[in-house]
Every structure is written in C-alpha cells, then in structure tokens.
Chains A and B, each alone.
Chain A
Amino acid sequence: MDTRAIATEPKVPRGRGDGTLAVGQVLQQRYQVLGVLGMGGMSAVYQARDLRFPSVTKLCAIKEMINLAPDPQLRAIAVQNFEREANILATLSHPSIPKVYDYFSERDRAYLVIEYIDGQDLEAYLADSQGLLPQELVLDWGIRLCQVLAYLHSHNPPIIFRDMKPSNVMLDKHEEIRLVDFGIAKLFQTGQKGTMIGTEGYSPPEQYRGATDPRGDVYALGATLHHLLTKQDPRVEPPFSFHERPVKAAHPAVSDQFVEIIGRALEYEPEKRWTSILEMQSALETVRGVPGGVAKPGTVRMSSSEIEPLWVFTCEDEVRSNPAVAEGVVFAGAYDNNLYAVDAQTGQFKWKYATEGGLASSPCVWQDRVFIGSEDNSLYCINAQTGRIVWTCPTQGCVRSSPRVEYNHVFFGSDDHHLYAANVQTGRVAWKSDTEGPVRSRPAIGDESVYFGCEDGAIYALDIRGVLRWRFTTKRAVTSSPTLDEGILYVGSGDHTIYALDVRSGWAVWRLRTGKPVISSPAVAKGTVFVGSVDHGVYALDARTGRQVWKFSTDNQVTSSPAFFEDAVYFGSVDGNVYSLDGRTGTLRWRFRTGGPVTSSPIIADGIVYIGSTDHRVYALVA
C-alpha cells in the first residue's frame, strides 16, 4: 500500500547514500564540505569552508535541494523560482536572519550558501532540557520571533516564512534567536510522490487548501510556542488538536494571558486569529512582567444565605442515610431508631415508627409499603400510609444495606454475611446467599441478576435464584452500591478505585483510581458517571471510557452518592455542605451549609432536593 506515516525524526532516505556529498568534496571550486549538519526529506544541510579565504577558516552552511520535477520544463521553472527566491533572501537584512552569501545549481541540485550558525535549534534545546521551560524564556523567544516575522511580512508583497517550527529556530552562542530555514525548499517539492514534509504539526489548516498569508505564520508561531511550553510534539498528536491539549494542563505555571494569546494564534479560521504578527507581538509584550501562575479568581461562589430551604424537619439523632419520596411523602431513617414520614410539600410530621436499633439503611418504597433495615438485625416492612408494621424479616446481623424491590421480592444484605431475597408480601425468605463478609451495599437488579458489593472486597453477580454467576475481587471492602446502566455495572471500592464491569462477563471495562476509598455510589446520566471519593472530590467520568470529564473538590470526604436532575448534579460532603454543580462542567451552581457532616445522599422529586444531615435534620431545597 502507499500509505505513509510521518516520520517523527528525520531519517536518512533509503537509497540516497551515493547522493550525499562526501567530506572533503569541493563545490564550485570554492566550498569544501566539512560535514553534514542535517538531513531532511529531499534536502540536506552541510557545513562547509569557503576556500576564498585561505588564511582564515570562514565557515558557511550549504543547503542542498534535489530537483525532482519530472520533466525538463518543470525543472527549469523550479530553478527559476529558486533563483528568484534566493535573490529575495539575499536582500534581507535582519539580525535574526542568517545572511545569504551565494547560490548556484549543479545538475539536478540547487544550493544555497548561507551564514553558518554555531548553536542549537530549539527542538534539540527542548529535547535536552530537564522539565518544563520557564514562561519568561518562551515569552522572550516569542516576542523576538514576532519581530523577525514582522520584518518579513513588512515587505511588499509580504514574505511568508511558511515553516515556523522549533527546528527552524536556532539559538546561537549569544543566546540570540535565528530563523534558519526558509520555505524555499518547497519549490522543489511540487508533484512529488512518496515524500513527507516534516512540518505538518505546525502548519495552519488553510495551508492544505493552498492558501498562504501572514496569518499562516501567526498560527505556526502559536503552534511553536505551544510545543515549547507543553513539550508535546504536534507532529505526533492529531493535527490541529492544540485546543484539545490546553497549555495549562501540561504547564500549570503559564499565565492565563499568555495561554489566551497562543489560543488566539491557533484559531482554525484565519479571521479569528491575531490580524497581524505585530498585533500578536504587542499582546505578548503586555504579558511580560506579569508573574506567571496567577490564575484568575475562580467561580463566584454563592453564599449559603442565598439558598433558603423550603422546610427543615428535625429528628432526634443523625440522619446518615438517604430519604425516599413517594406520593407526596418523604421517608427518612434516623439514628434515633425511628423511621419518619413527613409531608413532602410542607415538611409536616405524619408518623414515625420505632425500630429497636439505629437506621443506617435507606428506606425503599414499593406500592403502599416502606422497607428499611435496622441495626436491630431485622428488615422492616411498614405501611406507608399508617406507619403500622406489616412484617419483619430477622437476620443474624445488623441490616445496614438498603433494600431494593424487584420481581415481588425485596433484596437486601446483612452483616451476617448474606444477601437475602424475601417475599414482598409475607417477608418469607425465598433464598439467602452466602458471602465472606457483611453486605452493606444496596443491591442492583437487572437482566435477571442481582449485583452487590460486600465488605469481603468482592462484587457479586447472582442469578435471580441466588446462584453465583461471577465475582469480581477488589482489594478492599465494597460498601458502595453498584449502579446498572446499559449492561455496565459501576461501583466504587475501598481500594480507591471506581470500576465499570461488563455485567455479562464480569470483566472490567475500565477503572479509575481516586486518591482515597470510594464509599459513594455512582449515578449515571447522559453518558456520564458521577461519584464521590473520600479524597474530597466528586468525579464526572465518561461512562464508556472512564475518562475524567471534570473533578470538583470539596473541603472534606464525599461519601454521599450524587443525584442527577436536569443537567445538574447534587451531593453532600462531610464538610457540612450540600452542593449543586453544573453536570457538564462541574462548576458550582450553589451550596447550602448544614449544621454537620452530610453523608446522606440527595433524593430529587418534583424539582425539590431532599437530604439528611448529621445535624439531625432533613432538608428540602429547591433544585
């Protein structure tokens, strides 16, 4: 096939060995070749000595270009063009442009004799440098490159450099910038097949349509500065992908202002770029003296006083679990042993039911019944209207797992190392399945299977009759409750990681490691997974790939499970706040301060957020 890849490093072309000038060879009876300085696709640069100065060693550089035009007429035109360009270059006079001494043609080759510069090009300089280059240095180069490009553009018609890139900028012995290679080589490349121009990474998009104007040099300079600051070689990145690779992500110390200037130079449409290199230069000059790393003030945060709860309901102890809402009634379990029912609109008390232990489990409503586990070892089924008991299902350990109803059965875990399936009408146990640790996670049910985490570190997949289908072992307890979406099970683990597992095979699709254990249960909406971590953060991850979309940091652990409603995400933090963030960007919409750590997770119904706090209260907030 004739597909070719861009060689990232210049390679000596095959079969060219005999074409290379030998050391000692003399051209035009005047220039003695001393060595090869560089090798491009169809050109080479040699170091040579000018023999007209026999008593001193006068060095020069000779650029050799092979004329590959297929027929004699085209070859002649190429030579004419070359001579015209060489003449223009010979008239240039700028400290940053090496002098052109001479040019000539021999057989199928054209030669340009220029000032030899003793130094290193910026590509090599960058490769040799440790760590990132300081902003001040790159800024200074940028300004000086603007000066020389502006000089070229000031000609009539403007001279377009067309090949701005780090390897075409030399840093000489005096740390001065010199532009070393003009687009002249391109004159010989028309109609060639099988040759790569190694500059693809820096050229503006319009150049591929054949358009050239000074704004093309603006783009290429932006690309060069981006490369110098980020150390990301654009030739090995997707073409024109600078905006997808922000400078700050690679080099956080660069100032916003500098980043914006580069961003504008790199606009796809020439009309949106700096209108001239001079305009870009003056913008760069204003950055000078502004210390790097000074970020603009962050998102404006609303004070909690602006958020007024619709109502507040006070229990006798902490509310650590999530409320449930159904038919205009909010149900909440508290550590005072009571399950409370309050009016969703007004927060008015309706009834309470006292179990024999604290309620860490979250209630689950099904038809006219509420199910909740208690630390008194039982699961309770309570009439939602009256608050009277229907049945209890005793186990051998605390029931901290939150129940879920499906297939007319209630599924829940117990600290007695079992997962239970009990008949929803009678409470009779249909089956229980053995694990190696307390089951505190809330089961997820779908596709005729039950999925849950266990303190033994595993995530279990049972078929609907309780027979093990597969097990996925993590390195720490799994308290997080799995969430099922489109054949993927999302779950956090005490081993700091969020896992996405294929429900059919149990293999991991992706995983993402956070800084601390993940107790929070994931929420999935619009192709995004939202989950909190004990590392204080809330993460938004692409559901398919696990790539982080954004992360928001609170001031303490996030064990609360996020809820998604109308493009916003809601959760509590141990820092005492309830947060609302923009789902796409992770920017703060509002936060509301409670009187204690918030481990409870929000439940949203009819545009109202219901959430408990360890300050003993249940809050109703407008989403």
Chain B
Amino acid sequence: MPVNNSLATTQPMASLPVARRTPTGLRVGRVSDVGHVRDHNEDVLLTLETSQLGQQAPEPLGFFALADGMGGHEAGELASALAVRVVTHHLVNAIFKSYLFNEPRDASQPPLSEVLVNAVMAANMAVHDQVNGGGTTLTCALILGGRAYLAHVGDSRAYLWAGNRLRQITKDHSLVDRLVELGQISSGDALSHPQRNVLYRAVGQGEALEVDTYVEPLPSHYRLLLCCDGLWGMVGDEQLEKVLRSAATPQEACDQLVELANAAGGQDNITAVVVEP
C-alpha cells in the first residue's frame, strides 16, 4: 500500500484513504453429461450461491459439491446424491445464519475447514449407513471472503486457474497416483495401469475417513474448476488450461469441456462446475 505523504501535515483525515468495498456475486457455469459409453449418470453436482447488492452487502458466498458414485445396482447414484445433500445440509446449518446476519464471528464456531470436514464426515456416515455396497468421491469448495476452502475424498479434482496458470489443488486418492508419486510408474503408465481405477479412500466405506482440506487464497481474477475423472481422464491439463483461459463465460467453459471429453470417447459420465468472481 503506498503511503500518502502529501496531505498529512495539514489535513489528517484526508491522508487516510477511503475504504471501498463493493462485493459482487460469483458467476457459475455447470454441466453434467452421461457421456458416450454409460447408460446412466452416477455423478451429482450441487451448487449454492448467494449474491446481495447494496451498501451493506456481505462478501458473496458460494458452495459447490461434486460426487462421483461407485457400486452396482444403483448404489453409486444413491451414494453420490446422498453425499452432496448431506454435506450441503450440514454446511448450511453450520454457517448460513451467521453469514446472513454478519454476526460477530465466534471462537465456539469451528474454523471453516473444520466445518467442511465435519460436513463430509456426516455425508460419509449417511452413505455408510444408508447405501449398501455404494461409495462415492466427494469434492466440495466453499468460497467466502478472500479464499476457497476445499474438502476432498477420492479422485474427482479441483483446479485453480489464476495468473494464466492452471494448478491442480486436490490429490487423487488413487493407488496409481501414489505409485507415480514414488516414481514406481510413469504418469503415462498410470493412464493404462490395470489398477488405475483403484481408490484407497472414498466416502461411505467405513466409519473412519480421512478428509483432505485445502485453503486457497483467491486473487481478484481466477476460475475454479471442480470435475470428475470422466473429464480429467479424457481431457489433458493443457486443454483444460486452454478452455479456462479462453472461454468467454464459466458456462461456455463447461460446455466446451464436455464437448472435448465426448470427442475423446466420453468413456464415463462428465461433470464439471466452473466459478469465477
């Protein structure tokens, strides 16, 4: 912040800059497509945004939850649908009232990362108890104030495009990802490894679950992408980056991404959400 020396001596008030805060809403694009191979869609995406205009407007809030279900006999669909509902319900209960009324923040409320972990744990218990033989990935992002808070289990992904760079935020909980990390196989081998679809963590597999959390500071211009493996498995990072950089709107970005995934074969369901300030 530049220090303004010029007016200080005579007009103390004038030397203090005028505080300007004009929050605007978030712009969101979303898509979910069955793809070219499967006959049903086990992905679920839920988005929730507030925007309020006016002098006293609070920072905009956005919540995005994406789940990719697994398990036969409809268990996959049930698991993903239940997971996003429970996670959103928990989050709304925990923070929405304080948010709306701009109540003093209180140390008795857990930090936002903990709120998200608790929400995912609630979803985990619900799927474990109510969906026999089903599980799901679950990647969710809360945007509030200057940052995005993420909680993540499985191999759906979150990417942040900012400063002309695309960065994968989340880490896949997959066996091959670990093998690549340890240099045992190349990332090229990973795409064709017989166990490439093996997850070591998923929602609904047991009472214990370790949830990864990330807190990402958000610059003034960014695009946040959440997507399932039906997108990232078909469309390489370079193409993702290109679309996020060039698409006119978040919705156009989503539409282009689905087109690319289907053009590459559309082997799986394709679901994505793109958010920008």
The reply to whether the CB of A53 lies closer than 8 angstroms to some CB of chain B is no
- Judge if B200 is at the interface, Cβ distance under 8 Å: yes
Q: For the complex, is A577 an interface residue (Cβ under 8 Å from B)?
A: no
Interface residues of B (CB under 8 A from A): 1, 3-5, 8-9, 12-13, 15-20, 38, 42-43, 58-59, 68-70, 72-73, 76, 95, 102, 104-114, 133, 135, 137, 144-147, 149, 154-155, 173, 175, 178-179, 182-185, 193, 195, 197-202, 205-206, 208, 210, 213-215, 217, 228-230, 268-269
Q: List 5 A-B contacts (CB under 8 A).
A: A8-B205, A208-B175, A475-B108, A504-B145, A509-B149
Chain A interface size, under 10 / 10 to 19 / 20 to 34 / 35 or more: 35 or more
CA distance A205 to B176 in the complex (A): 10
Most interface-central of A3, A8, A503, A507 (chain B CB within 10 A): A3
Selected from A5, A408, A501, the residue in CB contact (under 8 A) with B8 is A408
B179 touches A208 (CB 8 A): yes
B199 closest partner in A (C-beta): A5
Taken together as a complex, chains A and B put the C-alpha atoms of A475 and B175 apart, in Å, by 44
Please name all residues of chain A whose beta carbon is closer than 8 Å to the beta carbon of B111 when the two chains form the complex: 499-500, 507-511, 546
The A428-480 residues at the B interface (CB cut-off 8 A) are 428, 430, 446-449, 458, 463-465, 467, 470-475
Bound state CA distance, A520 and B264, in angstroms? 57
Flag if A3 contacts B199 (CB, 8 Å). yes
The residue from B19, B146, B217 contacting A467, defined by CB atoms under 8 A apart: B19
**Bound Cα distance from A354 to B210, whole angstroms:** 59
Partner-contacting stretch, out of A84-92, A219-227, A231-239, A330-338: A231-239
Taking a contact as CB atoms under 8 Å apart, the answer to whether A5 and B135 are in contact is: yes
Contact stretch, chosen from A104-112, A393-401, A419-427: A419-427
Would A9 and B206 be within 8 Å (CB), given that A14-B72, A426-B12 are in contact? yes
Say how far A227's CB is from chain B's closest CB, in angstroms: 14
For A509, give its contact among B73, B112, B210 (CB under 8 Å).
B112
Residues in B whose Cβ lies below 8 Å from that of A206: 184
Q: Give the contacting residue for B147; candidates A6, A448, A509; CB below 8 A.
A: A509
B59 touches A505 (CB 8 A): yes
Question: What residues of B have a CB within 8 angstroms of the CB of A205 in the complex?
Answer: 179, 182, 184
A239 CB to closest chain B CB (Å) equals: 4
B105 touches A6 (CB 8 A): no
Bound complex: CA A206 to CA B179 (Å): 9
Secondary structure at chain B's binding surface: helix, strand, loop or mixed?
A: loop
Question: Which listed residue (A240, A407, A426, A472) contacts B178, Cβ 8 A?
Answer: A240
The verdict on A4 contacting chain B, using a C-beta distance below 8 Å, is: yes
Would you call B182 and A268 a contact (CB within 8 A)? yes
Contacts of B210 in A (CB 8 A): 236-237
**A464 B144 Cβ-Cβ under 8 A:** no
CA of A5 to CA of B229, assembled, Å:
14
Most buried by B among A196, A208, A237, A268: A208
Report the minimum CB–CB distance from B18 to chain A (whole Å).
8
- Which of B43, B114, B135, B146 is the one whose CB lies under 8 Å from A487? B146
Is A506 part of the binding interface, using a Cβ–Cβ cutoff of 8 Å?
A: yes
Contact of B107 among A7, A495, A510, A546 (CB under 8 A): A495
Cα(A589)–Cα(B20), bound, Å? 47
Q: Does A535 contact B (CB under 8 A)?
A: no
Complex CA distance for A515 and B242, rounded to whole angstroms: 50
In the complex, what residue of chain B is closest to A366 when comparing beta carbons?
B3
Digit string of A296-336 for contact with B (CB within 8 Å is 1, else 0)?
00000000000000000000000000000000000000000
Q: What is the chain A residue whose CB lies nearest that of B16? A: A464
CA A393 to CA B222, docked complex, whole Å: 45
* Contact status of A5 and B195, CB under 8 A, knowing A472-B104, A504-B146, A509-B112: no
| CB contact under 8 A between A508 and B109, given known A236-B208, A426-B12 | yes
Residues of A bordering B, CB below 8 Å = 1-9, 11, 14, 196, 200, 205-206, 208-209, 235-241, 268, 406-409, 421, 423-426, 428, 430, 446-449, 458, 463-465, 467, 470-475, 486-488, 493, 495, 497, 499-511, 544-546
In the complex, the answer to whether A6 meets B199 with C-beta atoms within 8 Å is yes
What are the residues of chain B within 8 A of A467 when measuring CB–CB? 19
Q: Is the CB of B113 within 8 A of A236?
A: no
Residues of A within 8 A of B43 (CB): 1
Given A205-B179, A507-B111, CB of A5 within 8 Å of CB of B12:
no
B residues near A546, Cβ cutoff 8 Å: 111
Knowing that A3-B197, A501-B105 touch, tell me 14 more A-B residue pairs with CB under 8 angstroms. A3-B154, A407-B3, A407-B17, A408-B8, A423-B8, A426-B12, A430-B16, A472-B106, A473-B106, A499-B111, A509-B111, A510-B114, A511-B110, A544-B214
Candidates B106, B200, B269; contact of A1 at CB < 8 Å = B269
Docked pose: A7 CA to B268 CA in angstroms: 22
Query: Complex Cα distance A508/B144, Å?
Result: 11
Contact present for A471 and B105 (CB under 8 Å): yes
Given contacts A268-B182, A408-B4, A472-B104, contact A505 B268 (CB under 8 A): no
- Of the candidates B108, B213, B229, which one forms a contact with A545 in the assembled complex, judged by CB atoms under 8 Å apart? B213
Nearest chain A CB to B184 CB, angstrom units: 4
What B residues does A235 contact at CB under 8 A? 200
In contact, B59 and A3 (Cβ under 8 angstroms): no
Is the beta-carbon distance between B145 and A502 smaller than 8 angstroms? yes
Complex Cα gap A511–B197 (Å): 36
Enumerate chain A residues within 8 angstroms of B178, measured Cβ to Cβ: 238-241
Q: How far is the CB of A357 from chain B (nearest CB, A)?
A: 26
Inter-chain contacts of A208 with B (CB < 8 A): 175, 179, 184-185, 193, 195
A486 / chain B contacts, CB cutoff of 8 Å = 217
For B268, what are the chain A residues with a Cβ–Cβ distance below 8 Å? 1-2
Taking the nearest CB of chain B, how far is it from the CB of A415, in angstroms? Answer: 22
User: Which residue, of B38, B147, B206, has the highest number of chain A Cβ atoms within 10 A?
Assistant: B147
B113–A510 CB distance below 8 A: yes
Residue pair A1, B12 in contact (C-beta under 8 Å): no
